[in-house]
């Protein structure tokens, strides 16, 4: 028997944030188009830079560059840090988790790095400090790239200490982490550099694009010297004005995502074989994606298929893991947690546009699917 559809059309996994104040946003966009002042450095990109820097609590030792994408931010950050720690006589090597979006590994390959993959913590799904310690003891490493997986902060306290002791730069792929906190401090200052994204899935989207890099002070001047790395990398005025519109409602956007995540957490706590990503005590996730881990006696693909019959879309973030398709150095290190996540994780719909009632319907459908073998 076919189940009753809860959503028609189907509820999407990702719903980009809609304009918060269209009456203000529209005239601002028309003003930009009419003036022709599109490039970085005019009114709206300057205001966005100042507001995000204040939001993250950046001091004089940091500078912020709004970029055309999160990948561009990663690239600028890596080039800046490599300039501070030159590599001589061998290929540069970067350590990163395999449980992440493809761009985390792709930009490193594009910059000529060899990749070494590190396993993740089984509860938080972020880079495991104990595994990183083993790699740093056994291999020459030039850069460590940690990831705030799905909006959940990495264990910066432990990772930064390990990198500091090893004399290695720590770059944070904080693509999903705007609004997240580590030990009650906004994510953005814990690593040597951070790269954020404002793509369509993020809490704040700059018209489906955009990002920003948090770099050591003076980085822009170095990036513009000789080979100019930022010439085509900085955000436009049109992207900035859309980001500012959403930034005005950041607290509300984060609260609505957290409320959806809490409904899902309550629905999975008492169901054997289901669990949500764990958040460390004192940390706060931005819940860019709310992902359920589907273990025995359930089957992830079966759960996805049956949720679809309720009109609920899902997606297996991040699958397959990077180490299964990106060239890398063979460290003979097993990645059991990463490989298990690749088989078991399933993203449920979450966005700032969802209501608690929407989340309760998803939770109800998930309960039905995991309680019965047939309809």
Give the pLDDT confidence score for residue 121 in this predicted structure: 98
Length, in residues, of the chain: 375
Q: What does the pLDDT profile of the chain (375 residues) look like in tens digits?
A: 577 899 999 999 998 889 999 999 999 999 999 999 999 999 999 999 999 999 999 999 999 999 999 999 999 999 999 866 555 677 899 999 999 999 999 999 999 999 999 999 999 999 999 999 999 999 999 999 999 999 999 999 999 999 999 999 999 999 999 999 999 999 999 999 999 999 999 999 999 899 999 999 999 999 998 789 999 999 999 999 999 999 999 999 999 999 999 999 999 998 999 999 999 999 999 999 999 999 999 999 999 999 999 999 999 989 899 999 998 887 767 899 999 999 999 999 999 999 999 999 999 999 999 987 544
SS3 8: coil
Sheet of strand 193-197, all strands in order from the earlier edge strand to the far edge: 62-67, 211-216, 193-197, 169-173, 143-147, 93-97, 114-118
We find that the CATH architecture of domain 22-247 is 3-Layer(aba) Sandwich (3.40)
HSE at residue 356, side-chain half, CA atoms within 13 A, is 8
pLDDT for 1? 59
Asked if residue 337 lies in contact with residue 121, where contact means CB atoms within 8 angstroms, the answer is yes
State the alpha helices, DSSP H only, in the chain.
22-35, 43-56, 70-84, 103-110, 129-138, 156-166, 219-224, 237-247, 250-268, 300-309, 336-344, 356-371
Domain 250-371 CATH (choose: 3.40.50.410, 3.40.50.12170, 3.60.21.10, 3.90.1150.10):
3.90.1150.10
In the chain, list all ranges with CATH 3.40.640.10: 22-247
Q: How far apart are CA 207 and CA 157, in angstroms?
A: 33
Angle CA(49)–CA(257)–CA(292) in degrees, nearest 5?
Answer: 120
Structure tokens, 239: 């992207």
- Burial level of 40, CB count in 10 A (0-12/13-18/19+)? buried
pTM surpassing 0.85? yes
Residues of the chain with CATH 3.90.1150.10: 250-371
What radius of gyration, in Å, describes the C-alpha atoms of the chain? 21
Q: DSSP assignment of 211-240, as one string?
A: EEEEEETTHHHHHHSSS-SSTTTBPPHHHH
């Amino acid at each position: 028997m076919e189940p009753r559809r809860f959503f028609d059309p189907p509820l999407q996994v990702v719903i980009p944030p809609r304009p918060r104040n269209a009456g203000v946003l529209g005239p601002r966009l028309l003003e930009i188009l009419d003036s022709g002042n599109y490039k970085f450095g005019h009114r709206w990109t300057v205001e966005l830079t100042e507001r995000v820097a204040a939001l993250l609590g950046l001091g004089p030792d940091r500078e912020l560059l709004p970029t055309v994408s999160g990948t561009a931010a990663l690239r600028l950050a890596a080039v800046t840090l490599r300039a501070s720690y030159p590599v001589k006589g061998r290929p540069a090597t970067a350590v990163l988790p395999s449980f992440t979006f493809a761009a985390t590994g792709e930009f490193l390959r594009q910059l000529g790095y060899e990749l070494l993959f590190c396993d993740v913590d089984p509860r938080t799904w972020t880079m495991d400090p104990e595994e990183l310690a083993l790699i740093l003891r056994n291999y020459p490493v030039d850069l460590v790239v940690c990831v705030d997986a799905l909006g959940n902060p990495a264990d910066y306290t432990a990772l930064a200490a390990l990198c500091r002791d090893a004399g290695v730069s720590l770059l944070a792929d904080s693509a999903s982490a705007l609004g997240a906190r580590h030990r009650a401090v906004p994510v953005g200052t814990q690593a040597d550099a951070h790269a954020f994204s404002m793509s369509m899935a993020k809490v704040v989207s700059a018209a489906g694009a955009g990002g920003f890099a948090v770099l050591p002070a003076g980085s822009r001047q170095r990036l513009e010297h000789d080979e100019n790395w930022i010439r085509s990398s900085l955000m436009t005025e049109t992207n900035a004005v859309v980001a500012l519109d959403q930034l005005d409602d950041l607290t509300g956007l984060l609260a609505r995502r957290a409320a959806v995540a809490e409904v899902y957490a309550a629905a999975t706590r008492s169901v054997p074989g289901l669990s949500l990503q764990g958040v460390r005590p004192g940390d706060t996730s931005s819940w860019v994606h709310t992902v359920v881990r589907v273990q025995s006696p359930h089957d992830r693909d079966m759960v996805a298929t049956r949720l679809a019959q309720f009109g609920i879309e899902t997606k297996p973030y991040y699958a397959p893991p990077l180490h299964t398709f990106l060239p890398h150095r063979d460290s003979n290190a097993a990645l059991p947690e990463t490989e298990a996540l690749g088989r078991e994780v399933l993203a449920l719909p979450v966005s700032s546009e969802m209501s608690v009632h929407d989340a309760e319907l998803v939770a109800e459908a998930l309960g039905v699917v995991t309680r019965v073998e047939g309809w």
